[in-house]
Structure 1
Amino acid sequence: MKSVDQVVREIEAGKFEPIYVLIGPEKFYHDQIIHLLSQKMFSDQGSRDLNEVVLYGTENTLAEVLSQATSYPMLAAKKLIIVREFEKMKIQDAEIFTKYVNKPAKFSVLILSVSEAPRNKVFQTLSKLPGAVDCRPVSESRMPQWLMQYSKGLGYPMAPDAAHFLIANVGPSILALKNELEKLINFKGEPSEITIEDVQNTSGMYREANIFALQNALSRRQLAKSIEISHLLLESGIDETAVNAVLFAFFRKALIAATLRRQNVNPAQIKQKMHLYDFQLRDFMETLKFYNVEQLKNVVILLHRFDLAKKGIAPDSTKNLEILCYKICRI
């Protein structure tokens, strides 16, 4: 299957496949490709209204899909047929459908949107088409890179610390990040770099009370400040498990950095081995002034137990975020 970026480049260049099969649960990618095809195929709303058809696997039949795909466009070069939730459509005559797949109409572009492809011959065939697209979600580890690339593509490059800050506070949801990015672009006006200050000014995530501020306070053993920030976060209704996930990721990486330092690996090599940005390296090196390897191991264990307790998997004496902060700073 092709990547979303590869397919977007092809569509931007005016190359359209007769059949697209969008496979995966990330609906943002489905909507991105559908919107782009619609914009590229039709020059005005009138031709779009006449030649763009949306069908649903839960409501329409395969016969209706093929009927639309084989009917000629009106006052346009091609017709666009979008089938959402195609995996839920009953394919009663696989032979007829396979014939169309092998020889699709040249005047139609058929988009089959599939959250999860069933394991049958029809979908095995569809997944091998030139228009099959991998729409799996971006992993959390790759999310900052995705956000920076997406933002840059819109003409607004984003600083690495701004990307990490936004993800830590909004969460790893592409749709939520896209909405926040739209706010940032409206705030910036003319294309220019998006900084962490821009994110704070538009989102209300100020230094006084956000996950990054809590992370920084804990990494420097600032007990009073960390408890104050955690109290403000709890009052705002923040999900404690989401906060814990960010802290766990940070201290686990700090433990890796500390282990490498114990092995006499210098900071430049740590940056290279751990694929860090400059601001991340600075944060970890600062943390190592306050915690040694054994203490960081205990912090990671504490955060892991807190996560299990909050999810109801295992009991733990740490009842809330404020007590967690106290225990970390007192390790």
Structure 2
Amino acid sequence: MPQLEKDQNENSLIFYESKELESKKYGEKRLTAARKKFFDYLAKQKFSEQFKPLNANELPLWIKQCLNKKNMAINPAAVSLLANISGANLWILHNELEKLVNFAQRQRRTEITAADVNQLVSGTAEESIFALTDALGNKNKALFFSLLENQLDAGVSLQQILALVARQFKITLQVKEYLIAGQAPQQIAAALKLHPFVVQKTIPQTRNFSLDYLKNVLGQIVELDYKIKTGQRDGLTGLTLLFSADY
């Protein structure tokens, strides 16, 4: 930290720390004195901003607010289903909402239903992306790239695929960490604010990946996403190279 205080330059620093679990409380560890001092220093910086995931109460409100701007309503069952499927990834949710709004408008409706969500969201993105990561877990790269090609042919963008794959790997990592800590599936679902079905389906997948691989691949996805957005790397080439490597 003394070096940071000394060097007043325009460099941008990104700090990432995964959630740590206590064996008894299964919660985030409290900041030590040293960590708190460092955190307080970062929080005081001119362009420092913290982005917390929306919680279970905030997420439905965010969905409704987005739809209100498009003069579209959504019934409570549809909100709950969409939140369970897409999680708190707002980029994914935004894309799914655009799809749902366009579908409802074509039918001259002003409300999105749970049937719409089931038809357009759960049966496409979520299941297909789970199949992609499952293929990797089973070390079946031929199947992975075949499924990837199917998604691209269906019109799903590379950016969306990358975001969904990252989300599934993140869920797998979190579930694996909780399992190691001795948590039961219902406890994990409550802690991660996921539908119990999602947790149950992810548990077998955790056995196919090591913690090191999951952490490493998430970091590489973030790096690839940045390179794609800044024009440093072609998306398809980057995705192919990332998941062609042995692990």
Tell me the TM-score normalized by structure 1: 0.42
1:234 aligns with 2:152: yes
**Aligned partners of 2:81 and 2:117 also within 8 Å:** yes
Whichever structure has more helix as a proportion of its residues is 2
1:218 aligns with 2:140: no
**Aligned partners of 2:169 and 2:218 also within 8 Å:** yes
Q: What's the offset of the Cα at 1:227?
A: 0.7
Q: Secondary structure at the match of 1:291?
A: coil
Whichever structure has more strand as a proportion of its residues is 1
- CA distance, structure 1, for counterparts of residue 155 and residue 59 of structure 2: 25
- The percentage of aligned residue pairs carrying the same residue is 12
Equivalent residue runs for 1:1-12 within 5 Å: none
Which residue of the partner structure matches residue 261 of structure 1?
A: 179
Deviations 1:18-69 (Å, cap 9, x if unpaired)?
xxxxxxxxxxxxxxxxxxxxxxxxxxxxxxxxxxxxxxxxxxxxxxxxxxxx
Q: Secondary structure at the match of 1:290?
A: coil
Q: 2:211 aligns with which of 290, 293, 309?
A: 293
Q: What's the offset of the Cα at 1:231?
A: 1.5
- Number of aligned residues: 183
Q: 1:198 aligns with which of 114, 119, 136?
A: 119
- CA distance, structure 2, for counterparts of residue 240 and residue 234 of structure 1: 7
**Higher alpha-carbon Rg:** 1
Amino acid at match of 2:115: I
**Aligned partners of 1:148 and 1:157 also within 8 Å:** no
In structure 2, the CA distance between the partners of 1:232 and 1:249, relative to structure 1 (3 Å rule), is same
- CA distance, structure 1, for counterparts of residue 192 and residue 86 of structure 2: 19
In structure 2, the CA distance between the partners of 1:159 and 1:192, relative to structure 1 (3 Å rule), is same
Q: 2:94 aligns with which of 149, 164, 172?
A: 172
C-alpha RMSD over aligned residues: 4.4
Q: What's the offset of the Cα at 1:301?
A: 2.1
**Aligned partners of 1:148 and 1:160 also within 8 Å:** no
Q: What's the offset of the Cα at 1:273?
A: 1.4
Amino acid at match of 2:171: K
**Structure 1 runs of 4+ with >4 Å offset:** 139-144, 146-151, 153-156, 159-163, 165-171, 183-187, 313-318
Amino acid at match of 2:172: A
- CA distance, structure 2, for counterparts of residue 192 and residue 232 of structure 1: 27
In structure 2, the CA distance between the partners of 1:314 and 1:270, relative to structure 1 (3 Å rule), is farther
Amino acid at match of 2:194: L
Equivalent residue runs for 1:309-320 within 5 Å: 309-312=227-230, 319-320=237-238
Amino acid at match of 1:289: R
Q: Which runs of 5+ in 2 are unaligned?
A: 1-51, 68-72
Amino acid at match of 1:265: Q
Q: Which runs of 5+ in 1 are unaligned?
A: 1-138
**Aligned partners of 1:156 and 1:194 also within 8 Å:** no
**Aligned partners of 2:133 and 2:168 also within 8 Å:** no
In structure 2, the CA distance between the partners of 1:283 and 1:229, relative to structure 1 (3 Å rule), is same
Q: What's the offset of the Cα at 1:230?
A: 1.3
- CA distance, structure 2, for counterparts of residue 198 and residue 174 of structure 1: 12
Which residue of the partner structure matches residue 47 of structure 1?
A: none
1:158 aligns with 2:78: yes
1:182 aligns with 2:97: no
Q: What's the offset of the Cα at 1:159?
A: 7.5
Tell me the TM-score normalized by structure 2: 0.54
